[in-house]
């Protein structure tokens, strides 16, 4: 995802959902999806339907996770023939890629790593109704016409089964003013999987957002030693699916 650098056209549905509230665009993704912040404490997420994950399933996951960890409260969710939308209550805090934290990468990276460990510890894998397993990810990719290389069909043995975030890239962690990770957003792929599926992507994303040299710092903050085999495998799977 990337922060919009130019003015964006506000979709009619978003304008309708906003009512009298003022809108500020905060995110734009690669498939034309937009996220807006309102001045009355909401986030409005709107975009085209996509088979990898839907806003309806994201709303279901957030409602479930809300019992154990801080995630956005779902206020509304809907869809029409071509697009879908999700309205959530805002959470005090800044994304780990807010300019304030981009200027303080070591603090942000450590916060993201420790927050991911807490998320994995908080969500009960034996009660989670969704899977983000290798098999399910490959099957989902096939439904979208993506052929995953055969070498990726054989995953390393599971180190620890947890409820993974499913898109643990650093922008999806919110930090408080003291630099502590306090909440997670964008939970559309949440499900059970090896914890390294999240660790691999979270650590890899530090280079995209802060530059080289922070991958192992995030893993250290998570509280484990780097597992190079699993890191390589789950990063390749991420790129392939």
DSSP conformation class of 40: T
- Report the candidate in 46, 54, 50 with the shortest Cα–Cα distance to residue 28: 46
What tokens does 78 get? 């809907």
Listed in sequence order, the residues at least 6 apart from 7 whose beta carbon sits closer than 8 Å to its beta carbon are: 25
Sequential DSSP letters for 143-157 = HTT----GGGGSPPP
Rounded CA separation 208/222 (Å): 19
Rounded CA separation 218/235 (Å): 15
Residue 186 labelled as part of a binding site? yes
Is residue 71 classed as helix, strand or coil in its secondary structure? Answer: coil
Write down the catalytic residue from 6, 7, 167, 236.
167
Is residue 129 classed as helix, strand or coil in its secondary structure? Answer: coil
- Report the candidate in 162, 172, 165, 176 with the shortest Cα–Cα distance to residue 224: 162
Q: Tell me the β-bridge partners of 77.
A: 86
Alpha helices in the chain (DSSP H): 12-18, 55-65, 99-102, 105-122, 134-143, 195-210, 215-222, 228-240
Any catalytic annotation for residue 225? Answer: no
Residue 172 labelled as part of a binding site? yes
**CA distance between the termini of the chain:** 16
Which residues are the active-site residues? 167
- Binding-site members for Mg(2+) are 172, 186
């Amino acid at each position: 995802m990337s922060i919009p650098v130019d003015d964006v056209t506000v979709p009619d549905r978003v304008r309708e959902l906003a009512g009298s509230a003022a809108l500020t665009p905060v995110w734009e993704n690669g498939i034309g999806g937009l996220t807006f912040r309102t001045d009355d404490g909401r986030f409005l997420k709107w975009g085209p339907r996509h088979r990898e994950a839907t806003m309806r399933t994201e709303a279901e996951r957030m409602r479930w996770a809300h019992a154990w960890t801080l995630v956005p409260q779902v206020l509304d969710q809907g869809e029409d023939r071509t697009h879908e939308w999700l309205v959530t209550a805002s959470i005090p805090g800044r994304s780990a890629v807010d300019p304030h934290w981009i200027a303080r990468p070591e603090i942000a990276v450590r916060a993201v790593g420790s927050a991911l460990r807490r998320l994995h510890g908080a969500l009960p894998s034996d009660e989670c109704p969704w899977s983000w397993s290798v098999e399910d990810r490959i099957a989902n990719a096939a439904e979208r016409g993506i052929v995953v290389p055969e070498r990726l069909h054989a995953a390393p043995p599971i180190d620890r089964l947890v409820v993974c975030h499913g898109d643990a890239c650093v922008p999806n962690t919110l930090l408080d003013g003291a630099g502590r990770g306090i909440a997670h957003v964008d939970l559309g792929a949440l499900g059970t999987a090896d914890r390294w599926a999240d660790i691999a992507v979270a650590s890899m994303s530090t280079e995209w957002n802060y530059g080289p040299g922070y991958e192992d710092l995030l893993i250290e903050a998570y509280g484990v030693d780097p597992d190079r085999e699993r890191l390589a495998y789950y990063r390749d799977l991420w790129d392939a699916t």
